[in-house]
Amino acid sequence: MSDTDKKVDLNQEPEEKLWAYMAEFDSADDVIHAAEKVRDAGFTKWDVHTPFPVHGLDKAMGVRPTILPWLVLAGGLTGMTTAIVLQWYTNMVEGPWDFSGYAFKISGKPNSLVGLPAMVPVIFELTVLFSALTAVFGSLALNGLPRHYFAAWRNRRFDRATSDRFCVVIEADDPQAGKAKALLAGLGGRGEVEELHDTTKSDALPKGIKWAIISMVLLSWIPFAMILRKRYTPSESPPIHVVPNMDWQQKFKPQSPSTIFDDGRAMRLPVAGAVARGSLDHVDANGHDAFSSGKNADGSFLQMMPIDATDKLMARGQRQYNIYCIACHGQLGEGDGLVSQRAFALQEANWIQPSKLSTDPLIHAREDGYIFDAITNGIRTMKGYGAQLSAEDRWAIVLWVRALQSSRLRDIDTLPKDIQAKLRGN
């Protein structure tokens, strides 16, 4: 076959051919009776066109129930699975790969499928959404919609099938088409039985539209291709900020300079005479605070701690010591904390060994206020912890240091008798 034969010549009149026979009826009841006759006569390629769903016609025509409900069920199950997988992956799984999920830890809610109740709303919504989409697009697809051409539309009588007429249409390629015209004529419809014609080329999609669709599909890939390209192109330039006011805010960071104030700093100092909360709690009549300074009014160290040594205070002291001091002074106060061990391992020339708080008799002999002062203001190369620890906590640590010392340096004979017996193991 040559190329020219295949092409449809647009100038040539298209070839007309008989497509179907049509009978028209006034009322729904009439068309039901007619449909029953056509069905009984054994036609297969036929349909009834009505302006609204005529109940009883399905039975009269012998239309079998559609599979749509099953499709919708499948759609719904897909939606449900999608929702579960989506929430599980994005909120509970995390790893070093691209597009990894992010394991949220929110208000102690279980971060696994045990947390299912909180996922129910989205599961429900997606189940409904997927089912509904299947119902709509499934029914359209089963109905062959969208379609741009239907042969009967060429006949003006058929126009009223969508407003007030009921039409039975039997196609000409039905095996029994020969009997069709006579049968329809005998059904008592209105007017003549109409012969519907079709042409050989009329159902072709117009060329322009076809190419428009194809090019639109192709063009729609361009943005995706561009995104993909960008993802795999390394770049030195900073990320694009559409609105940069989150990263670059009009505010001063701590310790930064400013031209607004005379002293050139952005941070403000407390006004003269401001006192911290609770700092006046232990001040005596002369304005001296032995509790927070660890010193007497004449500047000498307090011999005894100004707070009752209770079990509770001891426990507190142990806890705070283990947080603040253990790293250098070691668990038992022997000056062998991990920081120190590491410094020696690295042979740090400037490292000075932390004092042996529990075994150095000199420290054992010092006043409580001395240790307190060392914690508060630091001593020689050690930094002070006054800013981190409250006065009460510092006294608690002093108590704990004293306890550590007792465990090492105290003569066993100075202990109460029952404890001596216990320690000697008899």
Partner 1 sequence: MTTLDPSHASEAFKEFRPPLLDGKNDYKTITDQICGVPEWSHSETPKAWYIAFTIAVSMLGMLGAMIAWLFWMGVGVWGNNNPAFWGWPIVNFVFWVGIGHAGTLISAILFLFRQKWRTSINRFAEAMTIFAVACAAIFPGIHVGRPWVAYWLFPIPNQMDMWPQFRSPLLWDVFAVSTYATVSLLFWYLGMIPDLATIRDRATTPVRRFLYGLFAMGWNGSNRQWHRFERAYLLLAALATPLVLSVHSVVSFDFAVAQLPGWHTTIFPPYFVAGAIFSGFAMVVSLAVPARQFFGMKNLITMRHLEAMNKVILATSMMVGYAYLTELFIAWYGGNPYERFAFLNRVMGNYSWAYWSMFSCNVIFPQLFWFKKIRRSIPLMMIICVLVNVGMWFERFVITVTSLSRDFVPSSWGYFTPTLIDALTFIGSFGLFFTLFLLFCRWLPMVAVAEVKADMPRDEAAVKGA
Give the separation between CA 281 and CA 291, rounded to whole angstroms: 9
Residue with smaller CB distance to partner 1, 27 or 300: 27
Give the separation between CA 51 and CA 66, rounded to whole angstroms: 20
375 contacts ligand HEC (rule: CB under 6 A) = yes
Give the separation between CA 104 and CA 91, rounded to whole angstroms: 6
Which option in ligand HEC, partner 1, none does residue 281 bind, with CB closer than 5 to 8 A by kind? none
Residue with smaller CB distance to partner 1, 145 or 216: 145
User: How far is residue 311 CA from its own chain's centroid?
Assistant: 49
> C-beta of 18: minimal distance to partner 1 in Å?
19
Peptide bond into 146 cis (omega under 30): yes
Residue with smaller CB distance to partner 1, 246 or 349: 246
Name the segment binding partner 1 (CB under 8 A); options: 141-149, 170-178, 206-214, 368-376. Answer: 141-149
Nearest Cα to 31, choosing from 53, 57, 5?
57
Cα dihedral 391, 393, 396, 398 sign: negative
Residue with smaller CB distance to partner 1, 142 or 323: 142
Distances (CA, A) of 62 to 42, 142, 146, 173: 11, 18, 25, 20
86 contacts partner 1 (rule: CB under 8 A) = yes
60 contacts ligand HEC (rule: CB under 6 A) = no
In this structure, what token pair is assigned to residue 245? 């006011």
Residues 14-73 that bind partner 1 (CB under 8 A): 26-30, 35, 47-58, 61, 63, 65-66, 68-69, 72
CB neighbour burial string for 31-64, b if at least 16 within 10 angstroms, e if fewer: bbebbbebbeeebeebbbbbeeebeebeebbeee
Amino acid making up residue 324: Y
Residue with smaller CB distance to partner 1, 231 or 268: 231
In this structure, what token pair is assigned to residue 45? 């390629």
User: According to CB under 6 A, which one of 354, 358, 368, 402 is a site residue for ligand HEC?
Assistant: 354
Give the separation between CA 306 and CA 290, rounded to whole angstroms: 8
Which option in partner 1, ligand HEC, none does residue 352 bind, with CB closer than 5 to 8 A by kind? ligand HEC
Which option in partner 1, ligand HEC, none does residue 325 bind, with CB closer than 5 to 8 A by kind? ligand HEC
Residue with smaller CB distance to ligand HEC, 363 or 391: 363
357 contacts partner 1 (rule: CB under 8 A) = no
150 contacts partner 1 (rule: CB under 8 A) = yes
76 contacts ligand HEC (rule: CB under 6 A) = no
For residues 165 and 152, the answer to whether their CB atoms sit within 8 Å is no
Name the segment binding partner 1 (CB under 8 A); options: 7-15, 163-171, 354-362, 402-410. Answer: 163-171
86 contacts ligand HEC (rule: CB under 6 A) = no
> C-beta of 109: minimal distance to partner 1 in Å?
6
CB neighbour burial string for 276-313, b if at least 16 within 10 angstroms, e if fewer: eeeeeeeeeeeeebebbbbbeeeeebbeebeeebeeeb
231 contacts partner 1 (rule: CB under 8 A) = yes
385 contacts ligand HEC (rule: CB under 6 A) = yes
345 contacts partner 1 (rule: CB under 8 A) = no
What are the phi and psi torsion angles at 22 (to 5°)? Answer: -130, 135
Q: If residue 193 lies in a helix (H) or strand (E), which one and from where to where?
A: strand 190-199
Distances (CA, A) of 266 to 126, 252, 257, 313: 52, 6, 5, 41
User: According to CB under 8 A, which one of 2, 4, 11, 163 is a site residue for partner 1?
Assistant: 163
339 contacts ligand HEC (rule: CB under 6 A) = yes
User: According to CB under 8 A, which one of 114, 218, 240, 246 is a site residue for partner 1?
Assistant: 246
395 contacts ligand HEC (rule: CB under 6 A) = no
Residues 315-334 that bind ligand HEC (CB under 6 A): 324-325, 327-329
Strands 190-199 and 166-171: unpaired
Residue with smaller CB distance to ligand HEC, 196 or 404: 404
By the criterion CB under 6 A, which residues form the site for ligand HEC? 324-325, 327-329, 339, 352, 354-355, 357, 363, 371, 374-375, 379-382, 385, 397, 401
